[in-house]
Homo-oligomer: A and B are copies of this chain.
Amino acid sequence: MTTFATPGAGQQSTLTPRLIELAHALFEAEQTAPVSRFRTPEEMCRAIELAIPEKGSSPERVMDLLEDVALATPRTASRRFFNQLFAGRHDIASAAEIVAVLLNSSMYTYKAAGPHVLIEKELGEHMGRKVGYDDGEGIFTPGGSLSNFAGIMIARNEFNERCQQDGHDGSWLTLYSSELDHYSIAKNLAMLGLGRRSLRKVATDERGRMRADALRDAIKRDIEEGAKPFCINATCGTTVLGAYDPLDEIADVAEEFGVWFHVDGAFGGSTALSAKHRDHLKGSERSDSFTWDAHKMMGVPLSCSVILTKDKGLLRKHFSESASYLFQSDEDELNHGVKSMQCGRRNDCLKLWAAWQHLGDEGYARKIDRLYDLARSFAERVKKDPRCTLSKEPESVNVCFEVTGKPSDLICETLRQQQKSLVGFGIVDGRRVIRAAFVNADVDEADLDDFFDNLVEVAMTLPDGDNAL
């Protein structure tokens, strides 16, 4: 077959030019039509032949198919994508991710992955220091949900030292988390065999931050009722509002009751890089474990999530199993497989390391500040426009608002169908609001104008509707 990469095949590359052509078609489409054409799933299936065939096709035909798929994909890197907590494209990070694809290392051992396990170690320690862990460590996981899983699992096992060997004993262990927390907390408790009943939701204040007094009351009440509190989860950057729980106050409660203190900073952890905004994370150094997704505010390709622990050795203690066929060299401290919930594990580190080499701590600080500025700037537009209602002052890089009297869900769906922008809705104080996330630092003021103007314009064409739930 035509080849760009098979070592020793001795053939000229014909695939590379086609791949570059495809990439350029994509980049151009992102500029000229930042939202891909709306198609229902049925229309998509008719437009592109997706079935796996009995007989294969030429590389040329497959590359054509790939281009069709690429151009039909929602354009997360375009400047009109405000729908998720990730967006945009960082060139060096993407280039490094492509290198990682070609290297195809599995991260279990130094023998198999070489410098990449050293890079992972450096990143874990560097990120740990950013949240105040002077002698911590970290391991990359497939995403924020599973980083939270790791943190909560360590908490469970540290609480009950017999759990790893004997299993959960059926007692009522409780975890405390904000009513605005990520759904992975409940999900993880179910996965971990503790059950959803373990999750105790704690009330938030008017800014969406977990209330330390309510937390303390909840723990006291539960203890009286026979529960065994084992963990507090604080959220740094809630999904809808982008709110930050007050870590210092929560740390006081965690210390008072002697429970594990995990921080879900999947979204907001990157704020640790900004001198201007890192006060949001004040107290993070008092936590025991910390989830941080670099594929969100740090803009590297999916996925790039790390679980950090304040103390070295915990990951190994709770995740290692012997596997003599695998961990067989003497570089034992560098056999990261024993610290991971995975065995084979793709390399999610190189892209972040490369982006960080390019930007440095300083450049990343500027990038994070830029996101906060964009959100603030967009919120000003909302506040100035009499047709709109800002739900809350933005806590970080999310802006929640309504076009007064117009249904938020329908606005989002119409913007999508008319290829104007991709943005989603969320619930704030019992109302359905538009949630725009500003996580693409390449977006500029003209983009904000265009996004905002189109949104209000589209809203005005829609029938009135109530956003109260």
A172 partner residues in chain B, CB cutoff 8 A: 167
Interface check A6, CB cutoff 8 A: yes
Given contacts A27-B7, A143-B344, A360-B55, contact A426 B95 (CB under 8 A): no
Binds B, one of A118-126, A209-217, A375-383: A118-126
The reply to whether A15 and B95 contact each other, CB–CB distance below 8 Å, is: yes
The reply to whether A167 and B198 contact each other, CB–CB distance below 8 Å, is: yes
The reply to whether B325 and A425 contact each other, CB–CB distance below 8 Å, is: yes
The reply to whether B103 and A26 contact each other, CB–CB distance below 8 Å, is: yes
The reply to whether B105 and A341 contact each other, CB–CB distance below 8 Å, is: no
Interface check A386, CB cutoff 8 A: no
A324 partner residues in chain B, CB cutoff 8 A: 426-427
A73 partner residues in chain B, CB cutoff 8 A: 103, 105, 113-116
Within the complex, which residue of B55, B91, B114 is in contact with A2, where a contact is CB–CB below 8 Å? B91
Within the complex, which residue of B41, B98, B113, B173 is in contact with A334, where a contact is CB–CB below 8 Å? B41
Contact with B along A66-107 (1 / 0, CB 8 A): 100110111011110001111001011011111101111110
Chain B residue at smallest Cβ distance from A238: B325
The reply to whether B101 and A165 contact each other, CB–CB distance below 8 Å, is: no
Given contacts A142-B342, A195-B167, contact A53 B357 (CB under 8 A): yes
Chain B residue at smallest Cβ distance from A330: B413
The reply to whether A192 and B195 contact each other, CB–CB distance below 8 Å, is: no
User: Most chain-B Cβ atoms within 10 A of its Cβ — which of A27, A78, A295?
Assistant: A27
Binds B, one of A56-64, A200-208, A276-284, A460-468: A56-64
The reply to whether A325 and B427 contact each other, CB–CB distance below 8 Å, is: yes
Interface check A445, CB cutoff 8 A: no
The reply to whether A142 and B145 contact each other, CB–CB distance below 8 Å, is: no
Please report the C-alpha to C-alpha distance between residue A193 and residue B189 in the assembled complex, in whole angstroms. 10
Interface check A168, CB cutoff 8 A: yes
A85 partner residues in chain B, CB cutoff 8 A: 344
Chain B residue at smallest Cβ distance from A365: B54
Please report the C-alpha to C-alpha distance between residue A189 and residue B91 in the assembled complex, in whole angstroms. 41
| Cβ < 8 Å to B, chain A residues 115-145 | 115-116, 118-119, 122-123, 126, 142-145
A-B contacts, 7 listed (Cβ < 8 Å) = A55-B362, A56-B357, A65-B357, A76-B112, A85-B344, A144-B343, A168-B193
